[in-house]
């Protein structure tokens, strides 16, 4: 078990430091900031019988199910289908490896959240200095713009086709 504020040796010989989570900042009217969700826990129902329960299954798979829906959104599937009609199966390996790498990053991010109690953005804020943090922010903004661009263009084409 890791002690708080102790230096531990990681898997690759590097030293890591686990910091206790800070209390959320209080407003003047002494309410917790609504954007702070670190204290929320998922209630897992416990029962004496060992029979199958959809309620207990949903408590374990609910967050993962929501992430898988966000990972395979309609825009992503449509762009995969359109590129598949153009190049057939030549780029299927790109889809395979991007899916595997995306699942790997999500799994590592989930493990990081379980171990530290912080999400990925909070860990980047604590670990990196200002310039790398700004670079990470800009890369994320470019990725968001790139993924939303196809939806905006598709909507414009659909409105043009419907109004003409």
Tally of CB atoms within 10 A around 6: 9
Scored b (16 or more CB within 10 A) or e, 104-119 reads eebeeeeeeeeebebe
2 assigned to some structural domain = no
Q: pLDDT tens, 50-93?
A: 777 787 777 777 767 776 666 677 777 777 788 888 888 888 88
Number of domains in the chain: 2
Are 103 and 149 members of one domain? no
pTM greater than 0.75: no
16 assigned to some structural domain = no
Is the C-alpha dihedral spanning 1, 114, 130, 34 positive or negative? negative
Tokens 């531990």, residue located? 8
- CA 71 to chain CA mean position, Å: 9
156 assigned to some structural domain = yes
Q: pLDDT tens, 120-147?
A: 888 999 999 999 999 999 999 998 888 7
Are 91 and 54 members of one domain? yes
Structural domain span for residue 139: 128-164
Tell me how far apart the alpha carbons of residues 69 and 47 are, in angstroms, rounded to a whole number.
29
Are 51 and 114 members of one domain? yes
The CA distances from residue 148 to 46, 115, 154, in Å, are 42, 32, 10
């Amino acid at each position: 078990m890791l002690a708080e504020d102790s230096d531990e040796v990681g898997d690759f010989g590097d030293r890591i430091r686990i910091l206790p989570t800070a209390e959320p900042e209080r407003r003047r009217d002494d309410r917790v900031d609504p954007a702070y969700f670190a204290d929320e826990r998922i209630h897992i129902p416990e029962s004496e019988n060992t029979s199958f329960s959809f309620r207990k299954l949903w408590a374990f798979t609910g967050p993962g199910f929501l992430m898988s829906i966000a990972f395979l959104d309609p825009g992503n599937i449509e762009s995969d289908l359109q590129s598949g009609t153009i190049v057939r199966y030549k780029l299927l390996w790109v889809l395979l490896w991007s899916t595997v790498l995306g699942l790997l990053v999500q799994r590592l991010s989930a493990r990081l959240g379980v171990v530290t109690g912080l999400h990925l953005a909070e860990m980047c804020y604590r670990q990196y200095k200002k310039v790398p943090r700004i670079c990470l922010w800009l890369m994320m903004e470019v990725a968001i713009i790139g993924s939303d661009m196809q939806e905006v263009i598709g909507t414009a084409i659909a409105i043009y086709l419907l109004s003409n």
